[in-house]
Amino acid sequence: MTSEESLELISRMLRNAQERFVRGLGTPFILSGYLTAAMSLAVWYLLKTTGDERWNFLWFAIPVIILAWVLLQSAKTPKTTTFFDRAVGQVWIITGACCTLVSLYAFFYRPFPVMMVVSLLLFAGEAITGGILRLRYVQTIGIIGILLSFGIPFIGGINQILIFPVLLLLAMVIPGHIMNAQARKMVQRDGHV
C-alpha cells in the first residue's frame, strides 16, 4: 500500500467513525434539551405559585434521568467505541458533573448566578463537541450560546429560569434535530445505520 492509499484509508476510517457517531448523537441532544426545558418550566411555575424554594430540588432529577437513559441505551446497543465516542462522552460526563456540582454549591452553600454558569458550561460542552466532530453549526451555536449566557443575570429573580428553556432549545434541541436529519440522509445514502 502506498503512502497516499494509507492516508486515504485513514481519512475514510475517520470519516466513517465521525458519520457513525453523528448518527447516534441527535437523540441525546434532543432528550436532554426537552427534558431540561420542561423541568425549567415546571420549577419556575412551582416556585412562582408556591414560593417554596425546595422545588429547586427538581433540578437534580435531570442528571439522574439522563444518566438512566444513557445506561439503558448503552445496555441495549453494545458497540465498539471510537475516538469520537470516548472524546465526546468525556466532554459530556465532565460537563454534566460540573453543572451538578455548581448547582449543589449554589443551592447549599452560596447563591450566585447559577443559571448563567450552567448555561456557560452547557454551551462550552456543545462548542467543544462541535469542534471534535467538525460540525461547525454545533460549534457556532455553542459559541453564540456562551455569549447569550452572559445576558441571564440581567433578567430579574426567578424569571431567569424562563430564559433557560429558550437557550436549551437553541443549544440542544435544534442541533439535535439537524443531526438526526443528517443521519437520515446518511442512512438513505448508505442504506444502513
Answer whether residue 151 is part of any domain: yes
Count of structural domains within the chain: 1
- In this structure, what C-alpha cell is assigned to residue 51? 414560593
Answer whether residue 87 is part of any domain: yes
Residue-wise pLDDT for 50-85, tens only, equals: 999 889 899 989 989 988 888 887 777 656 677 777
Answer whether residue 184 is part of any domain: yes
Supply the pTM of this predicted model: 0.81
| Average of per-residue pLDDT across 132-158 | 90
Q: What is the per-residue pLDDT for 83?
A: 77
Map grid coordinates 450566585 to a residue: 112
Answer whether residue 145 is part of any domain: yes
Answer whether residue 9 is part of any domain: no
Answer whether residue 138 is part of any domain: yes
Query: Is the Cβ–Cβ distance between 21 and 85 less than 8 Å?
Result: yes
Answer whether residue 12 is part of any domain: no
Query: Is the Cβ–Cβ distance between 57 and 178 less than 8 Å?
Result: no
Residue-wise pLDDT for 37-46, tens only, equals: 999 999 999 9
Domain containing 34 equals 17-190
Answer whether residue 5 is part of any domain: no
Which residue type occupies 13?
M
Query: Is the Cβ–Cβ distance between 52 and 46 less than 8 Å?
Result: yes
CA atoms within 13 A on the CB side of 104: 9
- In which region does residue 52 sit, left (phi positive, over 0), alpha (psi from -120 to 50) or beta (all else)? beta
